[in-house]
Chain A
């Protein structure tokens, strides 16, 4: 209280909550997502997220396509890390058909999936900078992503959507140019990561924006169905690659980073550390690549036996799951896709109430959602 200042009692003034619409078109990398916030000044009272602007009806399309015709559409779910989606779908169908995947194919799948995880986390890194108002991390992220995409282009044939992992293995073997490019990448990338750490992770303004903002507790997260780095930032060392290993992950040594506070900064650091661990896995997989075939013999027209199952995978954002019901026909009878972004955005009202608007944008960024994955 300064000398001469009068205290205005705001409880006497009539006030009402203002409804603010963060519309479906807004300058952020999260896609078409709208939320209507009831705001009291700067504090958010409650939030109603509106989704469905990118609902393409993929689950209904699946009933009209054969299994192999549907596979390119699975890439477009979480388009930042597309190979992980394909991996989950192929694992689900292979489990239904009980086919064995050769070991070389499993190792190549691990290499693809982890490289794509690094690429997706670099987009998160760029978007996080954009949430706090910095433009440089976005350019840094996309620049380093170009190196990875050029490697994946030599290996898988595409930059963003690949259609590379197929039932029984992968479509082509590793060419020699991939190894040359990877040797160069392996030397440069840790230097770049250190630069990110010094410039951005250690930046005082960045830390003040992100620390102690948006703290999640463990019990709430279990109940809401959160998974992936969102769960790991709150002190739960749970990774599907360790607990239910698939595609040969049990052979590789890697750590699972965990945060201790549960705030946005911890989730950011978890993802940055996951980039290092992914690079470690790729190096181990390429150094110890077994010889053999890259594709098992799978019938041309796939008709899995009758039955249903649920298969899950550690995709870049969390737990991606496919529930496939098959009736012995060429088309799946019902294909349900459980995406991590859908569960995370459903928590938004619970998480954002009581925060300031600027913090709300940062918390939404820390969820790292992709609307193609949420709306399907």
Chain B
């Protein structure tokens, strides 16, 4: 079952800032996401994966939390770019959240400012490893 989940991850279109342009470039024709089975869905209820690309500010934090809660399980989060990992070049600003993992739990971190499409692919392949290693735990 993990094989089915990891081969068809539908991601939510969630472009926030500069990393979003690089994300769109890696989803476009030259580096294509669709050959990995990833297709964009606009609504959070229909998506498995969210790629946070860009700086999250204090005003936008509740929106991200609400969108994350609207997604159905199983859901995966990829933090793309140094702004989503730890605040990035704006770490000492009064209005920047220092990393998206202060708001929602993150599965994979992809570094770069912005990360190259190849780096994003590496991150997504690691996400597939994470999914393939998941087991169902009977509590």
Contacts and interface: CB of A to CB of B under 8 A. Distances in A.
A53 interface: yes
Interface in B44-59: 54-55, 57, 59
A31 B90 contact: no
Nearest to A77: B18
Nearest to B12: A25
Given A31-B15, A161-B113, A142 B60 contact: no
A161 B115 CA distance: 10
Contacts of A76: 17-18, 89
A279 B25 CA distance: 22
B96 A138 contact: no
A72 B89 contact: yes
B90 A58 contact: yes
B96 A79 contact: no
Given A32-B16, A372-B18, A55 B28 contact: no
Interface string A63-76: 01000000011001
A186 interface: no
30 contacts: A25-B67, A27-B40, A29-B15, A31-B16, A31-B17, A31-B20, A53-B57, A55-B57, A55-B95, A56-B93, A56-B96, A57-B90, A57-B95, A57-B96, A58-B90, A72-B89, A73-B89, A79-B17, A79-B21, A138-B28, A139-B28, A142-B29, A143-B28, A143-B29, A159-B22, A159-B116, A160-B22, A161-B113, A372-B17, A372-B18
Interface string A28-62: 01011000000000000000000011111110110
A148 B38 CA distance: 26
A290 interface: no
A24 interface: yes
B18 A161 contact: yes
Contact of A53 (B13, B60, B93): B60
A52 B21 contact: no
Q: Is the interface of B mostly helix, strand, loop or mixed?
A: loop
A29 B53 CA distance: 13
Nearest to B30: A146
Given A31-B16, A79-B18, A372-B18, A56 B57 contact: yes
Interface string B96-139: 10000000000000000110100000000000000000000000
Nearest to A149: B25
Contacts of B59: 52-53, 55
Contacts of A79: 17-18, 21
B96 A160 contact: no
Contacts of A57: 90, 93-96
Interface of B: 13-18, 20-22, 24-25, 28-30, 40, 42, 54-55, 57, 59-60, 63, 67, 89-90, 92-96, 113-114, 116
A145 interface: yes
A80 interface: yes
Given A25-B14, A25-B63, A160-B114, A56 B90 contact: yes
A146 B25 contact: yes
Smallest CB-CB A-B distances: 8 pairs: A142-B28, A79-B18, A57-B93, A27-B42, A53-B60, A146-B30, A56-B90, A139-B29
Contact of B25 (A24, A72, A142, A161): A142
B90 A73 contact: yes
A267 B76 CA distance: 40
Contact of A54 (B17, B29, B67): B17
Contacts of A149: 25
Interface-central residue, A24, A72, A76, A161, by most chain B CB under 10 Å = A76
B110 to A, nearest CB: 14
